[in-house]
Every structure is written in C-alpha cells, then in structure tokens.
Amino acid sequence: MVRRSEFDDGQAAKRLRVPVAAFRWARHTGLVPGPDLPTRRWSPAAVATMDPDSIRRALPRTPISGGAAANRIAETLGTPNLSGEKAAVTAFVVRRLIDLRILTDLSANPDGSLVNPDQLDLVCARDDLAGLVAANTPLGPDQAAHRLSVRRTDFDHMVRLGWITPADSVEVRYGTSRAGAVDVPLFRAADVDGLPTAHPEVEWTTLRAVGKGMCSPLAALPAVTA
C-alpha cells in the first residue's frame, strides 16, 4: 500500500474514520488546526495528532441540505416554500450565505451543500434575516434588466463590461430533451441594485429612456480586461 504524504479534508476524514461533514465543521471551529503544508493539505503527522472522537462530537446533529436549509429560512420568514409553487427562498440564497461565510459548507460534493442545523438556527434568529434573503435573491438577466428599468440588451452590455458577474447559473430546458437545455446566469439582487451607485458616470435616466431598436449608449464602451 502506498503511504500518503499529504491529505485533503476528505482523505483526512477517511483516515480518521469520521464523516467529512464533521471534519469540516471541526476545521471551522478550530478543533482541527489549519493545514500544515504549503499545498494547503495536512501531513500524516498532523493527521495523527487529531482526535476522532472529539471531531465526531463537534457535530452532534445531522447536517441538512441546502434545499432543506432554504425551506427552514422560508418558514422562519413566514413565507414557507410550498410544493408546486415558486419557492420564496431557494438553495441559491443558502449558497450565497456560504459565500459570505455566514454559513459553513460541510459537503464534499461540489454540486451540493450541507450545513450545520445549529448554525442555521443562529442565522434564522438574526434580526436582519429578511434583508439578507432579499439581498441574495436570484435574478435572471431579464429580471435584472426589469429591476433596473433598462432593456435586456443594455444589461447584457453591463455583463460584457464586467460591471456585474453571475453568482450562479441554472439549467433551463425547452421541451423534454436535454439537447434544448441552456444555462441561465443568476445574479444577486444586491449586486443588481448596486449598479447605479457603482457607476455614477452613466446617465441612467437617459439609458432608461432608450427606445426599442436603438443603439445602447453602453455599446461603444470597451470591456475591462484583467
């Protein structure tokens, strides 16, 4: 058997025979020290000093999915997500709270998320919960353009210019075949709302008055390159 010279969090959890979610939570709380190697991984010696029992006890409740967390937040706000109806709070919001480090992602799956229900309880008790959800609500390009009172083509130029970037995307199917599926970018409501303040050089009143079929005032602006 080949001996590992370094461990990522999943490998370290497997070595210690603890759930990855428990290991990640212990890392968040400081029970597990930060990686000791330049590769941002742990050495075998560092893993050997970790206490599996303490790591297991650090996460006493079973983690819940991003979707379940979204349902809990929606219930807290008095707008429960009902089956068959548009969700008031989606997993998109939960992922943004993870991005903001308000919640900690405990999942080893890059396409999913798991959170500590105890940590979620604290988030749901926040006085600014409604504002957090509103700021992190997802908007598609058409919704973002409507929110800014500009044409979709003008908003597309804002994306091209690098003024705003998608926070996520969702696959939308047209028909029953995946051949007709497209990825639709999703933007944070707060990022969309902040565009006029972030770009006072734009004559927003004039931009909003541009008629259908007319050239966008933003068309001639060069995109910023890294």
pLDDT at 79 over 50: yes
pLDDT at 226 over 50: no
Q: What is the mean pLDDT of residues 33-39?
A: 96
pLDDT band, very low/low/confident/very high, at 112 (cuts 50, 70, 90): confident
Write out pLDDT tens, residues 83-94.
889 999 999 999
Q: What is the mean pLDDT of residues 140-147?
A: 97
Whole-number pLDDT of residue 179: 63
2 token code pair: 């080949």
pLDDT at 161 over 90: yes
Which residue, 51, 72, 48, 57, is CA-closest to 22?
57
Q: What is the DSSP string of the chain?
A: -PPPS-B-HHHHHHHHT--HHHHHHHHHHTSSPPP-STTS-B-HHHHHT--HHHHHHT--S--EEHHHHHHHHHHHTT----TTS--SS-HHHHHHHHHTTSS----S-TT--EE-HHHHHHHHT-TTHHHHHHHT-EE-HHHHHHHHTS-HHHHHHHHHTTS---SEEEEEESSSSGGGEEEEEEEEHHHHHTHHHH-TTS-HHHHHTPPTTSPPTTTTSPPP--
Whole-number pLDDT of residue 59: 96
pLDDT band, very low/low/confident/very high, at 208 (cuts 50, 70, 90): very high
CA 7 to chain centre: 26
Distance of alpha carbon 68 from alpha carbon 28, whole angstroms = 21
Write out pLDDT tens, residues 172-198.
766 666 666 788 999 999 999 999 999
pLDDT at 48 over 70: yes
pLDDT at 125 over 50: yes
With pLDDT > 70 as the criterion, what percentage of the chain qualifies?
94
pLDDT at 143 over 60: yes
